[in-house]
Amino acid sequence: MKPVIATLVFLMCAGAFASDFYLYRDKAEYRTGSTGGVLGYSETLKAYCGESEILTAPSNAPVKGTWLGAIDGEITKNESAYESAEKRKQVAEFMLGSLGEVSYDKLADGKIRKYVTGLFEEISKAEADMKKANEGIEILKALFAKGTDGRYAVRADSSCADLRLVLDKITADYENVLRINGNSAKTELVLKAVNRSGVDIDASNAYLLPSYLNAPINIPQFDSWYVRPFEPVVLSRTMKTSAAPLMTEAADFDASEVTREAPSQFRVTNFKLASSGQETRFVLDSADVDTESRLAVYPFRSPVVYRETVFTPRSEVYGNKWRVIKDRENFDNVYSTVENGKIRLAAGTDKDISVKRSDLPLTRESDGFFGTKKRMKRGYTIEVSNLSGVSKKLSITDRVPVAADDRISIENTVVNGKKLSPSKDGKLEIITEIAAGGTVKYEVTFELVADKDMDVVF
């Protein structure tokens, strides 16, 4: 099949014409630059001339110079080869049948024996050629079906000086990529596009737009601005996390083929997207970044040790999902957080460090007969083992409770006998060096002081 694929690529690139392409979130608009004729292989394609829709009809003519057109041509060749082999088989079978029953005496004649043997060989060769052609047809049809749901070409019933096609089944998504290679790192914003519309795109300019094709446009209506008394609402406490915005502003960048027209809006020159059903990737924005790396664990949530990377973005960022490529490793489902304008994400995990967190037994100090407060001691231990053959530096982030009521206080936070003052949000950070094959253990204790008759939960 390799020569066939090479032929397909050559034919696809030949004879393409310039045009403009607009990729919206729901559909695509393609101003082909042509006046009509055979348009593509699609049952859902809509063609317009100005404001009017043009009727389309099935066509037996192939769409020349396109991916699907080249495949269609190869299918036709294989079908012709199958029919030719089938006719050869039928002729040989007819000639063999016309001999009737051949006696042993006749078979003794060398010429007749050679003739009969030749007919059987021809039937065998014809069947082999039919099988080969049929296998080729099945492979090519499967390849064709990847690029469109339609099987036959469609043409415009009339010509138009400015033909416009509205297409669906062109999907696009953005992907953030962080590439780490040794001490250097680079971020990329990548467009991942898949075309199953049945129409090859070959555009002088492609505009990637964040809106919908027919997005509603409403003029804002006036409404009064009221001032009301503040009424507090009880909210459940959650961890504070900050996800990246939908699209982060980027610094200006130079690119020969991609221009950022506005946030989340790009223009790509010489944009080619064959209707092959295969993902095509376009790098829209990229920038070198300075990164800081560390091993970090959050035992209060998970014993997993993360290989964290922190950097300030210098190129466009879409959402908070990333693909991280570190040397030979590839992680395509990484989610980031944003802290003080810096992006933090994990380039995989370290499986050579074992972390265990265990609660300490609960104790309660004497309240005294006339006391109005009760004092309860709580805590936990964190045990970290380095199973590798080299020493490793680890950042441990854990927590102590934070009082949500004036009648409650958290006092005497102690780590391995040393009194500490945690941050206002209760965060404790420990940086430790663990020798190869070594183990370190930390005991964290604190006292919870509350009204004697108050039940507390945390």
Q: What is the DSSP string of 204-242?
A: EEEEE-SS-TT----PPPP--------------------
Of 74, 87, 79, 78, nearest to 127 (Cα)? 87
Greater model confidence, 210 or 234 = 210
Radius of gyration of the chain (CA): 36
Contact between residue 373 and residue 450 where contact means Cβ atoms under 8 Å apart: yes
Tokens of 393: 């530096």
DSSP letter at 361 equals P
Between strands 302-311 and 408-415, the pairing is unpaired
Question: Averaged over 403-411, what is the pLDDT?
Answer: 81
What pTM value is reported for the model? 0.70
| Residues in the chain, overall count | 458
Between β-strands 52-54 and 46-49, what pairing exists: parallel, antiparallel or unpaired? antiparallel
Question: Phi and psi for 77 in degrees, rounded to 5?
Answer: -60, -45
Q: Is the distance from CB of 336 to CB of 306 less than 8 angstroms? A: no
Per-residue tokens: 285 = 């924005």
pLDDT given at position 10: 39
Which of the four pLDDT bands, split at 50, 70 and 90, describes residue 161? confident
**pLDDT reading at 223 higher than 70:** no
Helix, strand, coil share (%) of the chain residues, nearest 5: 20, 40, 40
Q: What are the sequence ranges of the domains in the chain?
A: 2-166, 167-349, 353-451
Report how far residue 51's alpha carbon sits from residue 406's, in angstroms, rounded to the nearest whole number. 68
Hey, is 114 helix, strand or coil? helix
Q: pLDDT for 253-305, tens place per residue?
A: 333 378 876 666 888 999 999 999 999 999 988 999 999 999 999 999 999 99
Distance CA 31, CA 53 (A): 14
Check whether 332 has a pLDDT greater than 70.
yes
- Looking at residue 91, its pLDDT comes to 92
> Which fold is adopted by the domain 353-451?
Immunoglobulin-like (2.60.40)
pLDDT at 158: 81
DSSP 8-state class, residue 77: H
33 has a pLDDT exceeding 60: yes
